[in-house]
Amino acid sequence: KLKGAFSLLIFTEDCIIAVKDPWGFRPLCLGKINDGYIVASESCAFDLVGADYLREIEPGEIVRIDKNGIKSVNYGKKKISRCIFEFIYFARPDSIIFGESVYKVRKNLGMKLAEEFPFDGDIVIPIPDSGNIAAIGFAEKKGIPFEMGMIRNHYIGRTFIQPFQTTRELQVKIKLNPVKNVIKGKEVIVIEDSIVRGTTSKFRIKALKKAGAKKIYMGVSCPPIRYPCFYGIDFPSKGELAASKKEIEEIRKSIGLDGLYYLSLEGMLSASSLSPDEFCTACFTGNYKIKVKNFKKEQFEK
- The whole-number pLDDT of residue 199 equals 83
Alpha carbon separation from 111 to 77, 80, 150, 161, 216 (Å, rounded): 33, 26, 21, 27, 19
Tell me the average pLDDT of the chain: 92
| Pairwise CA distance, residues 37 & 26, whole Å | 20
- % residues pLDDT > 70 (the chain): 90
Domain ranges of the chain: 7-80, 93-274+296-300
pLDDT digits over 30-55, tens only? Answer: 999 999 999 999 999 999 999 999 99
Q: Is 240 helix (H, G, I), strand (E, B) or coil?
A: helix
The listed CATH number (3.40.50.2020, 3.40.50.360, 3.40.50.150, 3.30.70.1230) that belongs to domain 93-274+296-300? 3.40.50.2020
Instruction: Work out the average pLDDT over 172-187.
Output: 90
Distant-in-sequence, close-in-space partners of 247: CB < 8 Å, separation ≥ 6: none
Alpha carbon separation from 147 to 119, 127, 191, 209, 291 (Å, rounded): 17, 11, 11, 16, 43
Instruction: Work out the average pLDDT over 137-166.
Output: 79
Q: pTM for the complete prediction?
A: 0.90
Which three-class secondary structure string do you get for 129-161?
Answer: CCCHHHHHHHHHHHCCCECCCEEECCCCCCCCC
